[in-house]
Amino acid sequence: MSTSPTTPAVHQLPEEHYLNSTYGLRSWLLTTDHKRIALLYLASVTFFFFIGGIFATMIRIHLLTPNGYLVTPETYNKLFTMHGVAMIFFFLIPSIPAVLGNFLVPLMIGAKDLAFPKINLLSWYIYLVGGCFVLYSFATGGLDTGWTFYTPLSSVYSNSAVTPAVIGIFINGFSSILTGLNFVVTIHTMRAPGMTWFRLPLFVWAQYATSIIFILGTPVIAITLLLVGLERMFHLGFFNPALGGDPILFQHLFWFYSHPAVYIMILPAMGVISEIIPTFTRKPIFGYTFIAASSIAIAVIGFFVWAHHMFLTGESTYAALAFSLLSYLVAIPSAVKVFNWTSTLYRGSISYDTPLLYSLGFIGLFLIGGLTGLFLACLGLDIHIHDTYFVVAHFHYIMVGGAVMGYVGGLHFWWPKITGKLYPEFLARMAAVILFVGFNLTFFPQFILGYLGMPRRYHNYPPEFQVLNVMSTAGASILALGYLLPMLYLTWSMRYGKVAGPNPWPATGLEWRTPSPPPTENFDVTPVVDWEAYDFKNRPDLGLTQPSGPALSPAHGDD
């Protein structure tokens, strides 16, 4: 029987687990164990996060004064471009799927591994090769096109190392596609007996939706960037009007992937939140089917809104109307999730553990990010705020406030499973609060800057914008502390943390039914699932007392 919180049992690490079953560099670099591959990804995405973070720090320092003395205009442009490329393509897109998803999807559905373990390892190598090309580009001339690679700037006019960068992103795309394919097949075919679709943890639903986007969207960006490379190298006219091409075509192709890609970044985080909230309120999630279905709805509708990034390119008014309407449509499933998470707190047994703090932070920040998306989708308003700091603030609220908070929260939640050790709780709560405060101080002023008219990607700016920029930089230094702390104490805890035991919270998922860290083959015997997701009621093994108090009305769906 697993842990019972009333008798704080002294746990011991299992004798043999996936971390110590074999030793040596070879055993890691040639591993096909999804859990080890997840850790390889963890190390590599952290590396890119660090690089992207250094660029961001330099950007913020430069913007302390209107005329920015730190770097030259060329360098500034390279900094924000390389920041975007590192963060989006090499950190945020792979982060939750390739680290947490890789580790958890098989465990959550009761499988021994992913469907194609060798392809899983291949994905990581492909990611590395892509990453090397991009690093090569950064080191030899840098990249100054913006992460959006708009033509003909990228394909003709830029003097920076565009070709290796687009090759790197092209290659990296295959890593995403293979990961997506692996997840889809695994989720379809390898669920344990009794693990029906509607018993799947919502994290798995989210990974499934994300995988669909990986598979359908990534080929488009890969080919598009390849065309940019071809136009650059061989002067083939795809996008350059002087060669008979059309620069707007590039934007259509780019956003056809990159809008769905924003959902690649946020959906998995929504999955994480949907795991954490039931665990720390000890009750089933409110509106399971609505949360699951909204993930799929987002993945599908997300493919039909891309031209909302192009309202002011001169696109036809009718196209603008259609894409604006569809963008409002995609906002509704996001709203549904927020309402359901909030309602889950109602009559819960809420603990103040770190993962929950991250989740609540996530809801707050995602809410602001999502609501400001409505501002941008509003045609009349976008005329003014398009391509200003308002957009910068919007997507950071969602991608950093939302997705990264979800990722860090998820790392804390599953850290005991991954390493078998507990992190220091007090420090962790502090870090969560520091992150939340630092984040808002960094990015909220940018909404105001944007409405006042400060365009994005400016290395210098009119003096009247200085106060807000200084606030933003001050916030960024707090934010940096907020990120450094978890990096330090999580690493520390791997060695010195308290032993966690199989199910420290306790949580209901299958991954908590096996030792921490799990054995290489995940489960000693294939589990059989006979409970619904997040069901704390019919789980005597968790050692919890059942609720007392007034019975619930049937309208509340009490089972």
Partner 1 sequence: MQAQLPFYPDQASNFAPSVDALMTFLILVSLFFAVAITAAIVFFFFKYRRKSENEVGYPIHGDMRLESLWIIVPAFLSLAMFGWGAVVYVDFRHAPQDTLDIYVIGKQWMWKIQQPNGRREINELHVPIGRDVKLVMASEDVIHDFYVPAFRVKMDVVPGHYNTMWFRPTKAGTYRFFCSQYCGTNHAVMGGWVTVMDPSDYAAWLSGSSGTDSPLVAGEKLFTERACVTCHIGNGSGRAPSLNGVYGGTVRLADGSTVTADDAYIRESILVPSAKIVAGYQPLMPAFQGQLTEDQILSLTAYIKSLQSQPIPATGAGVLTTGKK
Options 351, 433, 463, 488; binder of partner 1; rule CB under 8 A = 351
* Beta carbon of residue 457, minimum distance to Cu ion (angstroms, whole number): 8
Residues 281-300 touching partner 1, rule: CB under 8 A, are: 281-284, 286-290
Report what 459 binds from ligand HEM, Cu ion, partner 1, none; CB cut-off 5-8 Å by kind.
partner 1
Q: Which two tokens stand for residue 177?
A: 């596609």
Residue 320 touching ligand HEM (CB under 6 A)? no
Only segment of 106-114, 179-187, 407-415, 445-453 that touches partner 1 (CB under 8 A)? 445-453
Which C-beta is closer to partner 1: that of 17 or that of 456?
456
Residue 398 touching ligand HEM (CB under 6 A)? yes
Q: Are 330 and 298 in contact (CB under 8 A)?
A: yes
Options 190, 216, 374, 544; binder of ligand HEM; rule CB under 6 A = 374
Residue 115 is given by DSSP the state S
* Beta carbon of residue 205, minimum distance to ligand HEM (angstroms, whole number): 17
Q: Which two tokens stand for residue 269?
A: 């985080």
* Beta carbon of residue 248, minimum distance to partner 1 (angstroms, whole number): 7
Residue 5 touching partner 1 (CB under 8 A)? yes
Residue 259 touching Cu ion (CB under 5 A)? yes
* Interface mask toward partner 1 for 453-472; x: CB under 8 A: x-xxxxxxxx----------
Report what 364 binds from partner 1, Cu ion, ligand HEM, none; CB cut-off 5-8 Å by kind.
partner 1
Only segment of 62-70, 329-337, 344-352, 504-512 that touches ligand HEM (CB under 6 A)? 329-337
Give the position of tokens 């056809």.
Answer: 256
**Which residues, 6 or more positions from 440, have their beta carbon under 8 angstroms from its beta carbon?**
365, 475
* Beta carbon of residue 331, minimum distance to Cu ion (angstroms, whole number): 11
How far, in Å, CA of 492 to CA of 547, rounded?
A: 38
The residues facing 401 across adjacent strands are: none
How far, in Å, CA of 418 to CA of 19, rounded?
A: 9
How far, in Å, CA of 495 to CA of 419, rounded?
A: 9
Residue 312 is given by DSSP the state T
Q: Are 409 and 272 in contact (CB under 8 A)?
A: yes
Burial class of 292 by CB neighbour count within 10 A (0 to 12, 13 to 18, 19+): buried
Amino acid identity of residue 358, one-letter, is Y
How far, in Å, CA of 31 to CA of 37, rounded?
A: 7
* Interface mask toward partner 1 for 395-434; x: CB under 8 A: ----------------------------------------
Residues 303-322 touching partner 1, rule: CB under 8 A, are: 311-314, 317, 320-321
How many C-beta neighbours within 10 Å does residue 375 have? 17
Q: Are 99 and 490 in contact (CB under 8 A)?
A: no
Residues making contact with ligand HEM (CB under 6 A): 148, 262-263, 265-266, 308-309, 327, 330-331, 334, 370, 373-374, 376-377, 382, 386-387, 391, 394-395, 398-399, 403
